[in-house]
Amino acid sequence: MSDEMTAFAGDLSGMWTLQNRPPLHHLTWDWWWWLVMLEDPDGKPSGRQLMVLWSTKDNPLVEVSGTPWTPQGRPGFDEHHGMALDGMVCAWWFDGTQMHEPVIKRICRIVAMPDSHPDWPSADPNSGRGGGAVVPLLEEDLSMGLKSDLTEFWLNLTTDEDASHPNVPKEMRLKLTPWNGAMSTAREATATYAGNMGYDILRLHGTKASGTLDDEAVKGTAYFQKVSVQAPSVPWYWGVLHLDDGSYIDWFMPHLSFTVTARDNRPWKRRDFGHLGLSQGGLFHDGKHKRSEKFNRITIEKLGSEIREGKHAHHPGAPLPKFNIKMWNGRTTMELTVQAIERAHWTFNQPTRGGMTSHLTYNEYPLKLERLRIMDEYGVRKETDYAWARGNAEHSWGFLH
Is there a domain that residue 301 lies in? yes
* Strand ranges in 26-124 using DSSP code E only, listed in sequence order: 28-38, 48-57, 62-64, 67-69, 76-77, 83-94, 99-114
Residue where one domain finishes, among candidates 189, 211, 231: 231
Residues 285 and 337 placed together within one structural domain of the fold: yes
Can you give the residue range of the structural domain that contains 34? 6-231
Is there a domain that residue 399 lies in? yes
Is there a domain that residue 143 lies in? yes
| Nearest Cα to Cα of residue 100 among 373, 345, 381 | 345
Residues 252 and 378 placed together within one structural domain of the fold: yes
42 vs 46, 93, 96, 97, 215, CA distance in Å? Answer: 11, 17, 9, 10, 17
Beta bridge partners of 281: 252
| Nearest Cα to Cα of residue 302 among 359, 365, 374, 247 | 365
Phi/psi at 353 (5° precision) = -65, 150
Residues 247 and 204 placed together within one structural domain of the fold: no
d(CA 383, CA 392): 16
pLDDT score at 67: 83
pLDDT score at 258: 45
What torsion, rounded to 10 degrees, do the Cα atoms 301, 306, 310, 315 define? 50
Is there a domain that residue 16 lies in? yes
Is there a domain that residue 270 lies in? yes
Length of the chain: 401
Q: What's the per-residue H, E or C state across 332-401? A: CEEEEEEEECCCEEEEEEEECHHHCEEEEEEEEEEEEEEEEEEEECCEEEEHHHCCCEEEEEEEEEEEEC
Residues 88 and 138 placed together within one structural domain of the fold: yes
d(CA 290, CA 104): 38
pLDDT score at 255: 42
Is there a domain that residue 365 lies in? yes
Residues 245 and 182 placed together within one structural domain of the fold: no
| Nearest Cα to Cα of residue 344 among 305, 314, 308, 302 | 314
Domain count, the chain: 2
Residue where one domain finishes, among candidates 231, 246, 267: 231
Residues 26 and 137 placed together within one structural domain of the fold: yes
pLDDT score at 235: 76
47 contacts 390 by C-beta, under 8 angstroms: yes
Beta bridge partners of 324: 301, 337
Residues 61 and 172 placed together within one structural domain of the fold: yes
Residues 166 and 242 placed together within one structural domain of the fold: no
282 contacts 274 by C-beta, under 8 angstroms: no
Residues 207 and 250 placed together within one structural domain of the fold: no
Residues 250 and 391 placed together within one structural domain of the fold: yes
Write the CB contacts of 377 (distance below 8 Å, at least 6 apart in sequence): 331
Residue where one domain finishes, among candidates 196, 231, 266: 231
CATH number of the domain within which 28 lies = 2.40.370
285 contacts 334 by C-beta, under 8 angstroms: no
3-class secondary structure, 260: helix
pTM: 0.91
Residues 206 and 273 placed together within one structural domain of the fold: no
Amino acid at 68: P
d(CA 151, CA 208): 11
Phi/psi at 348 (5° precision) = -130, 125
Is there a domain that residue 1 lies in? no
- Report mean pLDDT in 10-residue bins for the chain, 401 residues: 80 86 67 96 94 85 77 70 88 97 95 92 86 96 97 98 96 98 93 69 97 98 91 78 98 63 50 50 96 95 88 81 96 98 86 69 93 98 97 81 51
Beta bridge partners of 229: 29, 199
| Nearest Cα to Cα of residue 374 among 247, 268, 196, 238 | 247
124-133 contacts, C-beta under 8 A, 24 or more apart: 124/148, 124/149, 126/150, 129/12, 129/13, 130/8, 130/11, 130/12, 130/13, 130/15, 130/186, 132/15, 132/16, 133/16
d(CA 45, CA 276): 33
Is there a domain that residue 90 lies in? yes
pLDDT score at 327: 97
Residues 300 and 342 placed together within one structural domain of the fold: yes
